[in-house]
Amino acid sequence: MNLRPQSLVLSKLLLLLVLILPGCAAREGNSQLGAAEAEDFNDPFEDTNRGIFDFNQVVDRNVLVPVAKAYRTVLPDPVRDSLRDFLHNLRAPLNFVNDTLQGDFVRAGRTFARFTLNSTLGVGGLFDVAGRWGQLPYHEQDLGVTFGVWGIPEGPYLVVPVLGPSDPRDLVGQVGEGFGDPWNILVSGNPWTLYWIPYVRGGVSGIDQRSRYIETLADIERTSLDYYATIRSLYRQRRAALVRGERENLPPPASFSRNDGPVASVAATNRASQRKLISEAPNVSEVSR
């Protein structure tokens, strides 16, 4: 889940999916209730998505989780930490560009300082000296978030084979990053000797990420009534939170004063539209009354 496409081939595959998926039949919401619900879930391709989700679950159970568990068992903590720090450092150019594109020059500066420190003192990124001693913790900014900050809507919720929850905005963002990543560009000139590097990088970072959530996701799956719906909500809220940035963690109060209507906070995809929603929200009586 949340694997990053690190190769151009994979990126092209994703681009294809963006073009194909909207062609799938949308589930109709005939009643008024159904229409409001559909807007809340933002999931017009739910049947297709659930099918892919089930497939992903099979892959997750039989391949990703066993591999992630083995990864966690075989490699000692310091090795995995170093590997993670190294992968984080490889993302620095993309993070820097996204910080800049979002107009956050202070954070861009921090990203640049981190990259410089970790690539030198941190032995090519193997040790996160900037985070541990330099008060410069790692943070990640991707192109999907940048699009969101610019006010581009998320589009319908999508489940991508193997890669998991997404939406057109995030998919396009991932494709863009696949093309724009300097490391990918660097190795694309050496098609016969280094072409495998982005695949390995993508695979390892995917396994590393999955290994951090083995227990959490198992717990959510065990206790939830509808795992698909829970993951959908978690993904969309998390992405919306990243677009809102650190400025505000909770959805606007408006969404909590109304218990009949689509969730304003989830529908909102950027700060501008959120502000609009707050001002437009009617004074509906509080839930508790």
Q: Which of 230, 271, 273, 281 binds other proteins (CB under 8 A)?
A: 230
Closest C-alpha to 4, from 140, 202, 185, 138: 202
* Residue 266 binding other proteins, by CB under 8 A: yes
Handedness of CA 242, 248, 249, 255 (dihedral sign): negative
Q: Distance between terminal CA atoms of the chain?
A: 41
Q: Is 255 in the site for other proteins (CB under 8 A)?
A: yes
Which residue among 48, 119, 233, 273 contacts other proteins (CB under 8 A)?
Answer: 233
**224 lies in the site for other proteins, by CB under 8 A:** yes
DSSP 122: T
DSSP per-residue string spanning 123-148: TTTTS-HHHHHSS-------HHHHHH
Options 10-18, 172-180, 186-194, 238-246: segment touching other proteins (CB under 8 A): 238-246
User: Looking at beta carbons only, is 41 or 115 nearer to other proteins?
Assistant: 41
Residue pointed to by tokens 């863009």: 176
127-144: burial string, b at 16+ Cβ within 10 Å, e else? bbbbbeebebebeebbbb
DSSP letter assigned to residue 158: E
Residues 24-43 that bind other proteins (CB under 8 A): 31, 33-34, 36-37, 40-41
Q: How many CB atoms lie within 10 A of CB 95?
A: 23
Question: Looking at residue 255, what DSSP letter applies?
Answer: G
Write out the binding residues for other proteins, residues 149-168 only, by CB under 8 A.
Answer: none
> What gap in Å lies between CA 7 and CA 46, rounded to an integer?
28
Binding of other proteins at residue 194 (CB under 8 A)?
Answer: no
Residue 210 binds to other proteins (criterion: CB under 8 A)? no
Where are the alpha helices (H) located in 134-212, listed in sequence order?
143-149, 168-180, 182-188, 197-212
Note whether 244 binds other proteins by CB under 8 A.
yes
Taking CB under 8 A as the binding criterion, the range among 14-22, 114-122, 170-178, 239-247 that sits at the site for other proteins is: 239-247
Q: Which of 249, 280, 282, 285: binder of other proteins (CB under 8 A)?
A: 249
With binding defined as CB under 8 A, does residue 57 bind other proteins? no
Under rule CB under 8 A, residue 83 binds other proteins:
no
Tokens describing residue 18: 């963006």
* Inter-residue contact 281 to 254 (CB < 8 Å): yes
Residue found under tokens 């993309």:
94
Instruction: Give the interface segment with other proteins, choosing from 56-64, 102-110, 111-119, 236-244 (CB under 8 A).
Output: 236-244
For other proteins, the closer CB: 31 or 73 = 31
* Shortest spacing between CB 192 and other proteins, in angstroms: 40
Tell me the window of 66-74, 90-98, 189-197, 280-288 that interacts with other proteins (CB under 8 A).
Answer: 280-288
CB 188 to other proteins: min, Å: 33
Are the C-beta atoms of 201 and 195 separated by less than 8 Å? Answer: no
Among 228, 271, 273, 281, binds other proteins (CB under 8 A): 228
Burial of 191 (0-12, 13-18, 19+ CB in 10 A): exposed
The footprint of other proteins (CB under 8 A) covers 31, 33-34, 36-37, 40-41, 137-138, 215-216, 219, 222-226, 228-230, 232-234, 237-238, 240-242, 244, 249-251, 253, 255-257, 259-261, 263, 265-266, 286-288
